[in-house]
A and B are shown apart, each in its own frame.
Chain A
Amino acid sequence: MSCPKTQYLLTEYVAGDLPRVVRDEIEGHLAECESCAAELEKIQQAQVFLSQWQEEDVPHWDRAIAGFRHDRATGQNSNGGWISRWLPSMLSFTMLVVLVLNTSVTRSDGDYRISFNSSGADVLQAQQNLESAALAQDQAVQILLETLQQRQDVNNIRVMQTLVDYTEQLSAENFERIYAYFEQQRRLDLENVQNSYQQLVASDFETMRSMQQLANFVRDQGEAR
């Protein structure tokens, strides 16, 4: 058996803080209405169940002291630190304002053109300037390439000339070395020939003297007989 007043009455009764008159009236109803009384009892059981909670101790932690110290040391959040807090936002806002004030949208030939810090005419002028600058730059590059080519040719000629000179010098030195070698060999040969001739002459002299001695011996032996 349910009571239509249960929710309304118990909401107020459980909430408490009721004027004495209202409280007595609800308690009078609860004394007569079994449905409401049973519902109240179960709800109070839930409250009792929750009240079994026992406060737990906090596990060890650093109590955010390191962060607090750092924060105080940098003064990031002190009362005088509003500049450091708001400076990034102020700069961002200023840049946004500058961007918006200097941005323009123009339409030409059915196309929309968004430009920064200029009007549409300025854009055309800027494009012409850009094209002439590009042309001038191409010409300058061409001239530079030609100059570079000429310099390269001169350099190549110089290198080749130097190479030839070096080769010639090298050849002359080699000829001198060969000539000196042959000259030395010639002198050695002459010395050898001269020595050999002297030896030959000496040998012939010894031979003649030996023959002379032999002849003298033979003659002496003949006379002795």
Chain B
Amino acid sequence: MSFIEDDESLVEAALNGSVYAWDKLVRRYEKKIYNYGLRMTGNTSDAMDLIQEVFIGVYRNLHRFRGDAKFSSWLFRIAHNKVIDIGRRNAILKGRSFSLDDPNHIESQLPFADKSVEPDLHLSKDEQNQRVQALLKQLSMEQRLVVELKIFQSLTFEEIAEMQEISVNTAKTRFYAALRKLRVVMESSHVLS
């Protein structure tokens, strides 16, 4: 058995029915997908739904993965589609319309009680992450996605543009607009709190 187990080898082994390869592949990416889900959906329940739906989608479509692109890119493309599905489903359940360019407005009150945007070492991991989640919820789905891809996944704007089927300039503009909106929200929170 080879000790070098790249994604493509694991995919091939999984296609041949290797549960070991599948388990290894899932373990390699589950944390990234889960955290992606937490940031994109804003709650653990939807993040767990996402992780399950993504990997079910992966094994059902594993035979379609040709290795033309990186497995991780293919995986996150599936995750991106599932996140939009979950957003649409939640919108229907809450009886409101869903749009990629509308923010959720789930939590209008931001947890910036300390009036500081500097990293706070006294806050727990959960509290820190909740602050980030609350801030991200102020963005539309498409803005959140470009922030996610750029800041948390360190993709280039060329890769973001390709994934979202938009131009590079649009991706850059969307990213700047997202940061600007976050800056405004943070300032408003400072003033109002």
Where the two chains meet, the residues of A that have a C-beta atom closer than 8 Å to any C-beta of B are 7, 10-12, 14-15, 17, 42-43, 45-59, 61, 63-65, 67-69, 71-73, 76-79
A64 and B59 within 8 A (CB):
yes
B-side interface mostly: helix
A48 and B55 within 8 A (CB):
no
Residue from the list B30, B129, B135 in contact with A63, Cβ < 8 A: B30
A14 and B31 within 8 A (CB):
no
Report the minimal beta-carbon distance from B34 to chain A, rounded to whole angstroms: 4
Q: A12-B172, A65-B23 are in contact. Are A51 and B151 (CB under 8 A)?
A: yes
Task: Give the number of residues in B that approach A within 8 Å (Cβ atoms).
Answer: 51
A-B contact count, CB below 8 Å? Answer: 122
> With A10-B176, A64-B55, A68-B19 given, can you name 8 additional A-B contacts, CB distance below 8 Å?
A43-B179, A47-B179, A48-B117, A48-B118, A54-B125, A61-B52, A71-B59, A73-B17
B26 and A63 within 8 A (CB):
yes
A14 and B175 within 8 A (CB):
yes
A14 and B179 within 8 A (CB):
yes
Cα separation A19 to B30 with both chains bound (whole Å) = 36
Cα separation A58 to B15 with both chains bound (whole Å) = 25
Residue from the list A45, A64, A72 in contact with B117, Cβ < 8 A: A45
Cα separation A83 to B180 with both chains bound (whole Å) = 52
Report the minimal beta-carbon distance from A63 to chain B, rounded to whole angstroms: 4
B186 and A63 within 8 A (CB):
no
Cα separation A76 to B59 with both chains bound (whole Å) = 11
A64 and B56 within 8 A (CB):
yes
